Amino acid sequence: MKLDGFSGRGALVTGGARGIGREIAERLRDLGAQVAVGDLTVPEIPGCIGIQMDVTNEESVRVGVQQARAAVGSIDILVLNAGIFVIEPFEETSLESWQKSIAVNLTGAFLVAREVLPAMREAGYGRVVSVGSSAGITGGAKSVAAYGASKAGVMALAKAIASEYAPHGITSNAVAPTLIDTDMVKGMPDMAARIPIGRLGQPAEVADLVAFLCSAHAGFITGAVVDINGGFLIR
């Protein structure tokens, strides 16, 4: 199926310099959207506009969204992907480390969405997709309490946005990947053995799902958390 609904649309992808975010940005670009990509350092992705954005800083978010609008026009598609992954035993997790995970993964999503949504509401159209995690459903493996808690919040935030903005032509959904073959999981034990399909997921597979949720074909899907985990949560 050829995905429609991207021609003439502007998109902003946070945390898009590498990994899943980069793959999503490239997919939206290839489908015809004008794509701005925000990250701590200006991303360099051919055919996309790189923007420096610290999602934990309110002023940086405000300026970054302004720059994105200037580059791509209206932001019709928003992908909230910026995140960090920290492995620490619970009792060794400092308050600083906990707060950093919450700030980047959850508060960052809130700040960017709050800056973008008013214009979407006025336009009567928008697609918002948040990148959560299976850890936000299960609590995650040992030593990822902050990450799991923050991603649970991200997925709840996606539902809250869906409820409030559905009357304005805006959909909001989350995807919940499990272990994806990116730098974030390098050095971890062989987790593929825990996945029924027998391998790690690929960033392109997550990007395909996100692109569908951003497309014209997903207009009746909102408030959903869509698992993409190779059967990891099968009971």
CA dihedral 25, 53, 89, 134 (to 10 degrees): -30
Cβ atoms within 10 Å of 47's Cβ, excluding its own: 10
Alpha-carbon radius of gyration of the chain = 17
DSSP classification of residue 201: B
pTM: 0.95
125 in active site = no
Domains and CATH numbers, the chain: 10-226 (3.40.50.720)
Tens place of pLDDT per residue across the chain (235 aa): 789 999 999 999 999 999 999 999 999 999 999 999 999 999 999 999 999 999 999 999 999 999 999 999 999 999 999 999 988 999 999 999 999 999 999 999 999 999 999 999 999 999 999 999 998 998 877 789 999 999 999 999 999 999 999 999 999 999 999 888 887 666 565 677 778 888 888 999 999 999 999 999 999 999 999 999 888 877 5
* Active-site residue (options: 6, 85, 147, 165): 147
